[in-house]
């Protein structure tokens, strides 16, 4: 339901945040995020166009986050690559329905709205600070504390 | 976010409910739902395979609902044609994450879960009985009551 492109874009953004303030090349991001490099470069171009990342050429070039993690809602990342489309008018173009959706399309739109709100209300900083689980992109399997109880 | 196929399948199911108990041919459903006939026949085949509609050949043949509207959750229709896929294991295959998702994938899965629950908790009968709005698939623009106040 959430596209592969959305998944990849969120991985890339998390990768840049984890490595901040160092710039990361497409190849470096591809390695950490396990996204095919050609696919990733399209995703990065979309993020760049949306103003979410900076791109700089040169020996120390690469991508950096253009926003602070606490000012970057996940919804901005989603909408930069594969925008969430609400149902705003009757998909059947029935004149009597118009923008006042029938019960079927109202329910469908409400479902889409809950996803939109969930991503709008979550910042990148919140995802990074969430300690209730493993760290995004980082394998911590070798760092588990030993349970002595 | 919800695919065209999901939208079409829900229209077709509502169409059959509106015309019940009469069987509806692919051509009849296509006309009411405004779904291209070739696309619709694939959707109907999926609904048939999932046991949500009956198909009968012959002069009075066509499709009918295989379940009562109050026993048919919208999620069954969605999952018959384009299943909602939850994130159950780490998409990066990180051993340390496994089925205990990191904060990023947990949030993504939670968003998907809200949609799954919304469709699981809504029956076709509820959509049909909802009087707070126009009737699905039916254009009521010429049937508005005159407001004399």
Q: Is the pLDDT of residue B149 over 60?
A: no
* Tens-place pLDDT, residues B18-46: 999 999 999 999 999 999 999 999 999 99
CB B24 within 8 A of CB B62: yes
* Tens-place pLDDT, residues B119-142: 999 999 999 998 777 889 988 765
Q: For residue A121, list chain B residues with Cβ-Cβ distance below 8 A.
A: none
For B126, residues 6+ apart whose C-beta sits below 8 A from its C-beta are A103, B70
In 3D space, the residue among A123, A38, A19 whose CA is nearest the CA of residue A74 turns out to be: A123
Chain B residue with minimum CA distance to A84: B1
CB A112 within 8 A of CB A84: yes
Q: Give percent helix, percent strand, percent coil of chain A, each to the nearest 5.
A: 50, 5, 45
pLDDT given at position B35: 97
pLDDT given at position A142: 55
For the purposes of burial, counting CB atoms within 10 Å of the CB of A96, is it exposed (0-12), middle (13-18) or buried (19 or more)? middle
CB A53 within 8 A of CB A72: no
Contact A110 B118 (CB under 8 A): yes
For B28, residues 6+ apart whose C-beta sits below 8 A from its C-beta are B19, B62
Q: Is the pLDDT of residue B95 over 90?
A: no
pLDDT given at position A141: 64
Q: For residue A144, list chain B residues with Cβ-Cβ distance below 8 A.
A: 96
| Mean local confidence (pLDDT), B101-109 | 95
Q: Give CA angle at A118 (A116, A120), nearest 5°.
A: 65
DSSP designation for B64 = E
pLDDT given at position A149: 45
Q: Which of B91, B107, B144 sits opposite A127 (nearest CB)?
A: B107
| Mean local confidence (pLDDT), B57-77 | 95
In angstroms, rounded to a whole number, what is the distance separating the alpha carbons of residues A90 and A112?
15
In angstroms, rounded to a whole number, what is the distance separating the alpha carbons of residues A2 and A89?
22
For A46, residues 6+ apart whose C-beta sits below 8 A from its C-beta are A9, A80, A81
Of residues A130 and B73, more confidence is placed in B73
Contact A112 B115 (CB under 8 A): yes
Q: Which of A102, A128, A144 sits opposite B133 (nearest CB)?
A: A102
pLDDT given at position B142: 54
Question: Could you count the other beta carbons within 10 Å of the beta carbon of residue B79?
Answer: 20
pLDDT given at position B92: 94
Query: Which domains does chain A show, CATH number per domain?
Result: 4-129 (1.10.10.10)
Chain centroid to CA B70: 14
* Tens-place pLDDT, residues A32-83: 999 999 999 999 999 999 999 999 998 889 999 999 999 999 999 999 999 9
Contact B122 A114 (CB under 8 A): no
CB A65 within 8 A of CB A53: yes
Q: Over chain A, what is the mean pLDDT?
A: 92
CB B61 within 8 A of CB B23: yes
Contact A104 B138 (CB under 8 A): no
Contact B134 A96 (CB under 8 A): yes
Q: Which of B10, B105, B141 sits opposite A95 (nearest CB)?
A: B141
Chain A residue with minimum CA distance to B128: A103
pLDDT given at position B24: 97
Of the candidate ranges A16-30, A131-145, B30-44, the one whose mean pLDDT is the lowest: A131-145
CB A14 within 8 A of CB B108: no
The pLDDT-based confidence of A145 (bands split at 50, 70, 90) is very low
Let me know how many helices (H) and strands (E) chain A has, helices first: 6, 2
Tell me how close the Cα of B105 comes to any Cα of chain A, in angstroms: 8
In angstroms, rounded to a whole number, what is the distance separating the alpha carbons of residues A24 and A29?
6
Q: Over chain B, what is the mean pLDDT?
A: 92
């Amino acid at each position: 339901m959430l596209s592969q492109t959305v998944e990849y874009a969120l991985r890339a953004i998390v990768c840049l945040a984890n490595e901040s303030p160092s710039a990361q090349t497409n190849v470096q991001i591809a390695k950490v995020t396990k996204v095919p490099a050609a696919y990733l470069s399209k995703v990065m171009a979309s993020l760049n166009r949306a103003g979410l990342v900076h791109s700089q050429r040169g020996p120390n070039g690469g991508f950096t986050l253009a926003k602070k993690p606490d000012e970057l809602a996940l919804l901005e990342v989603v909408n930069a690559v594969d925008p969430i489309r609400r149902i705003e008018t009757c998909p059947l173009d029935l004149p009597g329905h118009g923008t006042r959706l029938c019960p079927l399309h109202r329910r469908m739109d409400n479902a889409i709205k809950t996803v939109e709100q969930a991503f709008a209300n979550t910042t990148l900083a919140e995802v990074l600070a969430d300690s209730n689980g493993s760290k995004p992109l980082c394998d911590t399997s070798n760092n588990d504390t030993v349970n002595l109880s």
